Every structure is written in C-alpha cells, then in structure tokens.
Chain A
C-alpha cells in the first residue's frame, strides 16, 4: 500500500463544473496536508494547505480533511480550462519532525471548454 494514494485519472470535467479530487493516506499521525498544482514540465505550485478536520476555502478552491477516515479532498468550483493540470496531494509525516512531504502520484485534471 502506498503511503499517499490518488487516482491518476484523467478526470475530465466540462468548463464551469465542480472538479473533485481525492487522496487517502496511511500514516494516522500525519499532521499537515497540502495540495499542489503542476503544469506539464513545470514544478509544483502550492494551492492549499490544511491542518485540521473540516473545510478550508480559498477562492474557487476548497480543501476538506477527515483525519478519522484518513482522507483529503480538493474541490475546484467553476472549473476553467486553465485549471487543466496534475494535482498533487502531499502529506507531512507525523512521525518525522523534518517536515518532509510524502506525495501521491497526482491526478490529471482536464477541463473541457
């Protein structure tokens, strides 16, 4: 079992729809959770961070965390073609105080005009 799992996709949604991206993790002691966006050939760019259970909203993006279910999600409202990218879920290891991140393999999102 991978430490951080994501469906590789591609997830295809029409422009204006809500895109829902999901991630599960195995280390119950994990304390920090991040979503990064990565365009092809570019480096990861931070979208959201979340540390406690519940929802966190930032513009069109909402991150949701459920530590009991070991589940993190990212909702993108009013999806735009420019949102087409790979979305990486990253988890900060609870057993490590170095802050290193464990990444999932990423979910490719395609937003069709």
Chain B
C-alpha cells in the first residue's frame, strides 16, 4: 500500500495523559499536513511541513501540541495533558507540491475520557 498511513487508528486516553500519533506520507511527497476534524465539521488545518521544516502552524495548535518531521519522512503529532476538547479525528495528508492535491490518511480517532 503506497498511500498515507497513520498509527494508531484509535486512541482512548484519560484526561491529562500525553498521546503521540504517527503519520507516514506517500514516499515521494515532501509536503505533509495535519488537520483536526470534529463531528459535523470539515477538517481544520493544524500545521504544515515542507521536508523537515515546519513552515506554518495554526493558532488552533496550542502550546500543548507539538509536531515534528525529523528526517523529512514520517511525522509525529504529540498532545500533552490531553483535555476532553481534544477528542477528534486527527488527519494527516501529503502532497507533492502546493497547491497540489492532498491525499489523506485514514486518520487517528482520539477519545479523551
């Protein structure tokens, strides 16, 4: 499978715990995006990487959120001290160049109890 992959697919955690999600983009894609989607809404942009450089962050990305793409390949999104409001689907997408088509991974559904 050469599409975007995400791990884990589901994560249930207790409030206050830290969680980390991983995204593996399509291999030749140098642009990687994280979005968050809550029920009944469209995805909202969180952050963007071109290769290993994080070039844009949404103001939705509070200081509890951090994202990395250390070698310009896979990316991780960490949420510290999770809150119930963090419950959402976290989507990763990749593209070859902008404004090119973005292809989405299956998402990680986070539930914070």
Contact = CB atoms under 8 A, between A and B. Distances in A.
Interface string A7-37: 0100000000000000000000001101010
A72 interface: no
A49 B95 CA distance: 13
B55 A98 contact: yes
Given A99-B98, A100-B56, A105 B41 contact: yes
A46 B103 contact: yes
Contacts of A49: 101
B106 A99 contact: no
A99 B104 contact: no
B107 interface: yes
Interface in A85-113: 88, 90, 92, 96-106
B31 interface: yes
B43 A103 contact: yes
A46 B94 CA distance: 12
Given A98-B48, A101-B45, A43 B104 contact: yes
Interface residues of B, number: 27
A43 B91 contact: yes
A24 to B, nearest CB: 14
A88 B42 CA distance: 7
A36 B100 CA distance: 14
A32 B102 CA distance: 11
Contacts of B44: 103
Contacts of B25: none
A99 B100 contact: yes
Contacts of B103: 46
A45 B103 CA distance: 7
15 contacts: A31-B99, A34-B102, A42-B106, A46-B102, A46-B103, A88-B42, A92-B99, A96-B56, A97-B98, A99-B97, A99-B102, A100-B48, A101-B45, A105-B41, A105-B42
Interface of A: 4, 8, 31-32, 34, 36, 42-46, 49, 88, 90, 92, 96-106
Interface of B: 31, 33, 35, 40-45, 48, 50, 55-56, 89, 91, 95, 97-107
